[in-house]
Amino acid sequence: MRLGAYTACLHDRPLDESLKILAELGLTSAEINAGGFVGTPHLPIGDLLASAGAREDYLGRFTQAGITLTGLNVNGNPLNPDPLVGPKHAQDLRRAIEVAAALGVKRVVAMSGLPGGHPGATAANWIVYPWDSQYLDVLDHQWAIAVPFWADIQARAAAADVKVCIEMHPHNLVFNPPTLQRLVEQTNATHVGAEMDPSHLFWQGIDPVAAIEHLGSLVFHAAAKDTRINAENVRRYGVLDDRFTRTPADRNPLNLGGRNTLNQWPADAAWQFVAVGRGHGEEFWVPFLRALHAVDPDMAVNIEHEDAELDQIEGLRQAAQNLIAAGRKAGI
């Protein structure tokens, strides 16, 4: 099992410097952006697709740093009905599979995406609690869009011998184990499965270890990101806390595609993403790694740093230290 990091948090640094940072932290794996929400700061896609020499040189930079390239990440919304977002993110996913195959990388991380709620919609619509039949009508419409798209992705991934690993992320059709299984079953997928990111499962009340045991061989890849549940705030606001605010234009909000930008969390959030070990200790991370190892001893587990309380390096350092310690204790 390789423990590493997803380099999106180092997007403003050159690739070689980013790999050096990972190696100095004792990590041996890297996951690199291939499009979607973040773009391609560390992946010269055109050069890599055009030249075998460029691919050899690129992979050589990882070898020199003592790091293995274990995945490409193209998280976005490939089903977004916004014409400025969905088609681009969908093409990014198709292209990421092509680049991964060219590089010999066997894992591409993605999100399932989320369509609009009706024909002609221009905004995605996440149905959380379909108690009224009209909401099941929306879901039927959305799955009718998703299944043909993902059947095509399955075919491309199988032909390329690349596995697409879906992050079970709220605000997507696939956000928990049952929806992941539904997509796999309805597309007869062999090369579409789960990226096990516990952070999104924690706040839904899902036990990630139980989810791994339930999904079994459908777990292809994993992320190491923690969530802290702020109990006093949950008592007041619940986990479905919508008190987000727009990021002012003068603070350069992160563009998510088209006109869409990343909003700001409430100051007293009910829950928040934190570095590994700052939400859950070894009592979680040790059995988590053991459960992943039982599915696939060669699985990569890559840190995703989104802890707003820690800077780039300190967040990675704490996460790496805690993840490596848990790995030693787990005997992997």
158-203 per-position pLDDT tens digit: 999 999 999 999 999 999 999 999 999 999 999 999 999 999 999 9
Confidence of residue 43 (pLDDT cuts 50, 70, 90): very high
Say whether pLDDT at 70 is over 90.
Answer: yes
Structure tokens at 6: 């997803």
Among residues 3, 7, 26, the alpha carbon closest in space to that of 16 is found at 7
| 197 Cβ contact partners less than 8 Å away, ≥ 6 residues apart | 167, 168, 169, 222, 223, 225, 304
Mean pLDDT of the chain: 97
Mean pLDDT within 66-77: 98
264-297 per-position pLDDT tens digit: 989 999 999 999 999 999 999 999 999 999 999 9
Say whether pLDDT at 5 is over 90.
Answer: yes
Q: How far apart are CA 79 and CA 150, in angstroms?
A: 10
Mean pLDDT within 118-135: 95
Given this model, what pLDDT does residue 319 score?
98
Say whether pLDDT at 254 is over 90.
Answer: no
Write out the DSSP string of 150-195: HHHHHHHHHHHT-EEEEE--SSSS--SHHHHHHHHHHHT-SSEEEE
Given this model, what pLDDT does residue 145 score?
98
Say whether pLDDT at 252 is over 90.
Answer: no
Say whether pLDDT at 230 is over 90.
Answer: yes
